[in-house]
Structure 1
Amino acid sequence: MAESFLFCIAESLIAKLASWAYEETSMVLGAYKDLREFTRTLSYLKAVLLDADQKQEDNQELQEWLRQIKLVFSDAENVLEELEYENLRKKHGIDSNKIKVGQFFSNSNPIVIRHRIARKIKEIKNGLDRVAADRHKFGLKIIDVDGRVVHKREMTYSHVDSDVIGREHDKENIIKLLLLHGNDRTLSVIPIVGIGGLGKTTLAKLVFNDSRMDECFELKMWVCVSEGFDVKQLIVKIINSANDSSSADTPVHHQQKFKDLDIEQLQNRLRKKLRGQKFLLIFDDVWNGSRVEWVRMRDLIQVGAVGSKIVVTTRSHNIASMMGTLPSHILEGLSPEDSLSVFLKWAFKEGEEKKYPHLVNIGREIARKCGGVPLAVRTLGSLLFSKFDTNEWEYVRNNEIWNLPQISGDILPALKLSYDQMPFYLKQCFALFALYPKDYTFDSFDVTSLWGALGLLPSQKGNQILKNGANQYLYELLSISFIQDFVDYGIGFTFKMHYLVHELAKSVAFGDCLLTDYSLECMDSVARGVRHLSFRKDVLGGEFGVQRLSGVRTILFPIAGVGSHNKAFLDAFTTSCKHLRFLDLSDSTYETLPLSIGKLKHLRFLSLENNTKVKTLPDSICNLLKLEVLILIGCTQLETLPKGLRKLISLQHLEITTKLCVLPEDDIENLSSLKTLKIECCDNLESLFGGIKLPNLRALCVANCRSLKSLSLDSDHFPALETLLVDNCDMLKLAEVQEGRNSNSRLKVLTFVSLPQLVTLPLWLQGSMTTLQFLSISSCNSLVVLPEWLSAMNCLKTLCITDCPNVLSLPNDIHGLPTLERLEIHGCPESLGKSQLQVGESSHKP
């Protein structure tokens, strides 16, 4: 199924080839003609890829054709990456024009490199031509993105079985909302939100068919939206449903003729039908729709009697927010007991389960793996109906759901509807969740770093931090309920993924992503097309050849505390997998890295986090001109940093732990792309940033540097700094800065934690009067007073003061802050708690 990403890859390649930089370079290489022809062929193929993807399921020859295209595309991405690398070297003057005679035929000679790239471009162009020549024999049609076939859910209806299990409490909550506020003049809209298969429609049916609804509402209407929020179509559906509700004798032909009326005639009939009636309208299965369309629809139906209500079922939190006037009812999963009851209902005839107690025990485990989703329970129960062989039940229990037979209406097809509706750029990102184990707690930084390293994020503009565009993708997944348990911790957030959604990710990523326990000897069974490898445990074994996996782009150890300790593993992959983009060696125990690390030209992410053995790093790391993220945090034995850090011209995020007394600040100052810097557990470090400039730095974290005495943060040197965290630095005196300095600082987020020398807030913070939004001060025992000028922070939204026992009061006018939304005070004198109450009351006044 990973072949469905080919359309997105083709778009990305075409966009790159259209850039001025590639055109200019291709002329220098003498490959302009080849690249132009390659682009034209690529455009032809892109036009039919969507049709090919939809037809490939039962056509092995077409599947093989798509695999061939995938290989060519992968080669094309690699050669364009190499072209970018050489452009960077040339642009920044990193490669020397002086070539010794003995080096003339070396692979490092720019002339030899350009010749090799030109030859590769011609080979790839010829390869694509050969594959493209076969496209006609499959009868493929040109399909654009908007015209692609997206499998729709079947239309729903209002009838419901009387024996629905486990939704009585949810039903009563919704009915309570429908019966309350009976005199409100506003048309109330109650959204029900949850992932596919959770039972939103069933819950709406239970409510719709409850006898109390007949007593409360004169008119009940059920409309399945599903196919799109088209106002004219919805008007017809509402009128037809209203006719059904008001008269069972309404002839079908009378209903159908409404489709022939224009919008003016239809809206007149709709308003006439609803005017003065107290109605209940169910909008089931709403997927999309703009606010403009919804407001048009709402205004047309807002002619009913006082107390009319609408219930909306949707998978999208955005839709719920747009349409709802009351808080969304977030539908949770069934309890384990209810899940088992549903399972037994579908797996056995009534009462039959009593004959097979051993199967019931297996069924309990099967039901548990469904994560409380009724449709999943029904799917697996139905699969075992009238089957009493223990082996068959154990097979279902032991296999992943996506490996089991599925038919229309089962759980994975139901969830895949949400996946089908995703934009193509999000599909690739979602598939990479298959690299993580189930029940994993994700951190936004880890996930978005992976996406960025693989080139799946939108191009950054200006001084934008790497994470900004990526977080928008995560919010889109949150909106459609594909991620959950979302916790914002200020500079990022954590979240989880429902087991079944994770199963879907594994399904769509099959053949492209692999999470494995394999030893090196077992790796021969890994499919050649796998490009992203994730390991649950250390990879054991001796000598190992990875030539067959030379296309691997990701190496990941996602589980905390689990890393690589096998030198043969690292040597093999850094030598043979020259197209690695993401290399996570967290929790490893290497004392150094192989020199070959510097030949990974495409590498964008490298982490040695929490490696407590590494002492030195090869200087060849500084040849990684495309490296964007370098994490050395927790490397407590690291004695020195590689020489030539300034050559890392693409580096945006740097985290350092080292035994050095002085950081190579001249090199750091020349990291022109650096936007985030974290310095932690550098116990020998006494001063930072003595006059150096970091004009593009947006976020700075300094933590657990016990000897640090000075931290120079002059705004002239850090004009773009927005986020500052200083934590557990015993000797640091931040306030010792001349008044008037940093008057132009633009901080938005500021956190001070465990700073024993902090007596009051530093004067330079006054420069952020019009920008500071978040201020948190914690465990600062010497802090005595908060300055009066804090009351002038006219953008401050959050103020948190915790465990500061000597702060006796807040500034007098703190209650006047116009934007304050959250004030938290804990572990402080009682008098300060009283101020909290006063501020809390006044800050929420209109």
Structure 2
Amino acid sequence: MERHSGARASKKLFQLQSGLQHLSDTLPEMYDLINRAEWRSHKDGVTELLPKLKDTVYNVEDLLDELRWYNHKVIVEGNARQSSFTDFFNSFTSVNDIQKRLDLISNHLEKKGLGEVTPRFEKTVRPETSSFRSETKIFGRDMVLEQILGLLMPTHSSTHSKRKRETSVHEPRLPELPVLPIVGIGGVGKTTLAQHICSHPKVKSHFDTIIWICVSDDFDEKRLTKEAIESFFGKEATTKNLNSLQHALSNTLENRKFLIVLDDLWDDALKENGQCWKRFCGPLKNVVRGSMMLVTTRSPKVVDLVHTMGPIILEGLKDDVFWNFFKLCVFGSESSDNFPELEHIGREILPKLKGSPLAAKTLGRMLRHDLHTSHWNNILKSELWELDQEMTEILPALRLSYMYLPFHLKRCFSFCAVYPKDKEFEKGHLAEIWVAEGFVKRQGVIPVQEIGSQYFNDLLSRSFFQEVQGKYLIHDLLHDMAQKVSEDDCFIVKNKDDIERIPHNVRHLSVLSSTDISNFHLLSLRKCKKLRTILCNKSLANKKIPASLMDAWCSELTRMRVIVCASINELPASIAKLKHLRYIEVSRTCSITTLPATICRLHNIQVICVKKCKLESLPSDFSMLVNLWRFESQGFKYGPNIRSRKEESYYGVNLDAAKDEQGLGCRFIKNMKHLRGHLEINNVDKLRNDHPAEAELKNKECLDKLTLQWSYLDRYGDNKFIDTSVSEENEIEVLPDLKPPAGVKSLVLVGLSHKACQA
């Protein structure tokens, strides 16, 4: 009987492993399917299936992630009992059931036309543009218009007649066609500005030929060359050969001063490392002086590729100009005298639109449709992303930028919807959280946190983040768009009424510090069983909020990966149930002095940040946290460190002995058996005599550099500063216990007395 029982268990184990491997192998295909479904999410049926697909795929991720936790447990604890492995999976729905659900949903989506076709903007989503003005009047762009006209038609340009230029072969030539980009976010008015430039009388008289091409996301040099020829001759080009087309275009423009406008250029132009762009520009060389190319784009990356002149950066309309434009959109004129009550509400709505002409036009239509104060107040109280998307164009217009992102960047950006507007982001901090959420792909031996920082840079280069006075922000309209694309996954609790509006399958949740959110409301978050993230800005460190609240979260929200709390009473022992947990942070000062011993079972944990908490001790098994990347408490930091803007960053330990009275840092160093990088101890003279021996530095074989700094820095320097509170004998006494390993590459001693150096 035992033999048969063992055989059945082995067979079951093999089936589980086989099923999990199949799910793991299927994930890349499912990510690609989600990506394609987002391009068609406005189609009937796809809208309903997309959140179901995401939910199932995220369930698979959780399942595989728990398996990783078990593998770490085996490595660290040496517990590989087969029964334990089988019990682990008995708590889950059958792997086969999950696979069947994935197959069912993906089959339905494939029937909706989501085959292997390359995603492209449909004309219904991104209408084709032309050089004819869609707006008869342009607001607030007088200065930039004059600036562009000055660049297109400099005062030193030739004054020869058109007829003479067309026939002369002796016109001054330019080896390369000058390219002037206009760059800005969707809906800011780039195309409208370009249309007004093309229709300007001075421009029309200055250039022999004006060619307008709507590029969109299909940068095909043959198509674009063909359209340029057809734009000039007004009839279809018959040849299909690229070489013939380019010769025809070159011959057509050879003796003409021309302006060519490429409207709506996307990152598609960057493909083949920019070779497609270079091929398109092949016939646009040795051109008549004064010829120009004008490019409109959302992408700074495109600007870097194509520009030969400094770009024109188009921002939102300002103040009174925007208000006048908004009134024109709403009332049909720049006067609102007949609607004093509506004018007051309109002025409150205006800041939501952030100067976007497209937002003013689309919201203006919604307001003009119903001139009752109740309707206007409803729109005032709503977030833009909550409005009927079939009646507004601004978020769909911005969503195009999101759709064009690679899938891994989509996940990173849409996650930012869990943060409130005007959140100031730190690159390294956000990168660590993206890693904890599982959004960052490994690339060889490069630390994933560095890859996450590169993701941030990629989004910054695409204008999804803005750098303002050294801080990184997300434009409010882009934040609205992020909330729209992640409305099933991310949610912000601003007040108690929001609790009932939390999506059933929400994964990422933030709680703002509203006074009307009670203990009961916080406890009710236990119902969000699939939650991966809690960002709680409401302090939990007071007598009115019992410790059982955090215990309930840890006991029941077992899929959590990221916990950030303002402050808490304690970390409960039940935190060990959070097998997926990778990031925990307590951002404010609180009374925590110890970590529960059970925290050592969090084999996936990467970041523990309690830098404003004065820990007095660490659990004895702290070294079992084999994936710990960063650990911070008051006066102590393990992880990446930034010395200054001029000096290199490094990885290692920074210990300030003056703040670490309990010797926590030395005990941590002892427990970290594979301590690597740079160890820096400041205020060495403040170390208690027994603390240095605890560190056991001589056993840290992976240590590259050791820096020891005494607080009396200039003992014999110009400052003549001497700290007599610590004797030179004490210095000599602690030095043997701080002896580094034999393989250390660099030893730096700062402020050591002459006598101690001789010793």
TM-score (norm 2): 0.78
2:304 maps to 1:327: no
**Superposed, which structure 2 residues align to 1:674-823 within 5 Å?**
675=651, 677-679=653-655, 683-684=659-660, 697=676, 707=686, 730-731=711-712
- The aligned counterpart of 1:791 is none
2:132 maps to 1:159: yes
Cα shift at 1:85: 1.2
Separation in 2 of the partners of 1:600 and 1:682?
34
2:624 maps to 1:642: no
Q: Please identify, of 302-311 and 194-203, the stretch whose mean Cα deviation from structure 2 is larger.
A: 302-311
CA contact (8 A) 1:654 1:676 kept: no
Partner letter of residue 452 of structure 2? A
Cα shift at 1:481: 1.7
Post-superposition CA distance 1:152-186 (Å, at most 9, x none): 51111112234211111111222222234758654
Separation in 2 of the partners of 1:338 and 1:706?
63
- The aligned counterpart of 1:266 is 245
Distance change in 2, residues 1:41/1:32 (3 Å): same
The one of 539, 548, 551 equivalent to 1:571 is: 551
2:591 maps to 1:601: no
CA contact (8 A) 1:697 1:718 kept: yes
Cα shift at 1:732: 5.9
Q: Percent identity?
A: 27
Partner letter of residue 201 of structure 2? S
Post-superposition CA distance 1:604-643 (Å, at most 9, x none): 00112333311111111111110011112121x3222232
Separation in 2 of the partners of 1:607 and 1:39?
30
2:393 maps to 1:406: no
The one of 603, 606, 609 equivalent to 1:628 is: 606
2:513 maps to 1:537: yes
- The aligned counterpart of 2:467 is 485
Distance change in 2, residues 1:145/1:210 (3 Å): same
Distance change in 2, residues 1:726/1:178 (3 Å): farther
Cα shift at 1:235: 0.7
SS at match of 1:326: coil
Post-superposition CA distance 1:688-736 (Å, at most 9, x none): 8899898774577778999479999999966667xx9999x84468999
The one of 548, 561, 564 equivalent to 1:584 is: 564
Distance change in 2, residues 1:271/1:327 (3 Å): same
2:68 maps to 1:84: yes
SS at match of 1:312: strand
Partner letter of residue 199 of structure 2? N
Cα shift at 1:486: 5.3
The one of 329, 347, 356 equivalent to 2:339 is: 356
Partner letter of residue 227 of structure 1? D
CA contact (8 A) 1:553 1:580 kept: yes
Distance change in 2, residues 1:198/1:682 (3 Å): farther
CA contact (8 A) 1:274 1:303 kept: no
Distance change in 2, residues 1:262/1:529 (3 Å): same
SS at match of 2:337: helix
Separation in 2 of the partners of 1:265 and 1:726?
72
Cα shift at 1:227: 3.4
Cα shift at 1:58: 7.0
2:142 maps to 1:168: yes
Partner letter of residue 337 of structure 2? K
Cα shift at 1:594: 0.6
2:57 maps to 1:73: yes
2:425 maps to 1:435: no
Post-superposition CA distance 1:224-280 (Å, at most 9, x none): 11132111111112122233xxxxxxxx5xx21x15431122111100111132222
- The aligned counterpart of 2:409 is 426
- The aligned counterpart of 2:473 is 496
SS at match of 1:388: coil
Separation in 2 of the partners of 1:369 and 1:227?
29
CA contact (8 A) 1:715 1:745 kept: no
Cα shift at 1:395: 1.3
Separation in 1 of the partners of 2:148 and 2:707?
44
Cα shift at 1:436: 0.9
Q: Please identify, of 136-145 and 683-692, the stretch whose mean Cα deviation from structure 2 is larger.
A: 683-692
- The aligned counterpart of 1:785 is none
**Superposed, which structure 2 residues align to 1:440-479 within 5 Å?**
440-462=423-445, 464-479=446-461
Separation in 1 of the partners of 2:422 and 2:707?
30
Partner letter of residue 296 of structure 1? R
**Gap regions ≥5 residues in structure 2:** 1-9, 158-171, 639-649, 718-730
Separation in 1 of the partners of 2:102 and 2:578?
29
Cα shift at 1:680: 5.8
Separation in 2 of the partners of 1:535 and 1:701?
37
Partner letter of residue 624 of structure 1? L
2:100 maps to 1:129: yes
Separation in 2 of the partners of 1:170 and 1:698?
52
The one of 287, 292, 295 equivalent to 2:278 is: 295
Distance change in 2, residues 1:654/1:140 (3 Å): same
SS at match of 2:281: helix
Post-superposition CA distance 1:124-146 (Å, at most 9, x none): 31243266457667771574566
Separation in 2 of the partners of 1:225 and 1:701?
55
CA contact (8 A) 2:489 2:507 kept: yes
**Superposed, which structure 2 residues align to 1:239-388 within 5 Å?**
239-243=229-233, 252=234, 255-256=235-236, 258-288=237-267, 289-290=269-270, 291-350=274-333, 353-388=336-371
CA contact (8 A) 2:34 2:54 kept: no
Distance change in 2, residues 1:165/1:715 (3 Å): farther
Separation in 2 of the partners of 1:395 and 1:278?
53
Post-superposition CA distance 1:820-846 (Å, at most 9, x none): xxxxxxxxxxxxxxxxxxxxxxxxxxx
CA contact (8 A) 1:683 1:705 kept: no
SS at match of 1:434: helix
The one of 199, 208, 220 equivalent to 1:230 is: 220
CA contact (8 A) 1:457 1:470 kept: yes
- The aligned counterpart of 2:646 is none
Higher relative contact order (CA 8 A, sep 6+): 2
SS at match of 1:164: coil
Cα shift at 1:515: 0.9
CA contact (8 A) 1:716 1:742 kept: no
Cα shift at 1:210: 2.4
Separation in 1 of the partners of 2:682 and 2:210?
61
- The aligned counterpart of 1:208 is 198
Post-superposition CA distance 1:79-135 (Å, at most 9, x none): 32221111112223x1457xxxxxxxxxxxx44421123435671312432664576
Distance change in 2, residues 1:28/1:705 (3 Å): farther
Q: Please identify, of 32-41 and 469-478, the stretch whose mean Cα deviation from structure 2 is larger.
A: 32-41
- The aligned counterpart of 1:790 is none
Cα shift at 1:286: 0.1
SS at match of 1:468: helix
Partner letter of residue 129 of structure 1? K
- The aligned counterpart of 2:647 is none
Post-superposition CA distance 1:727-756 (Å, at most 9, x none): 9x8446899999xx9999699xx9x9xx9x
CA contact (8 A) 1:638 1:658 kept: no
CA contact (8 A) 2:568 2:586 kept: no
2:526 maps to 1:526: no
**Superposed, which structure 2 residues align to 1:653-668 within 5 Å?**
653-657=630-634
SS at match of 2:185: coil
Cα shift at 1:536: 0.8
CA contact (8 A) 1:222 1:241 kept: yes
Distance change in 2, residues 1:303/1:742 (3 Å): farther
Q: Give the aligned length.
A: 677
Distance change in 2, residues 1:144/1:133 (3 Å): closer
**Gap regions ≥5 residues in structure 1:** 1-24, 98-109, 244-251, 489-493, 664-673, 764-846
Distance change in 2, residues 1:409/1:321 (3 Å): farther
Distance change in 2, residues 1:658/1:30 (3 Å): farther
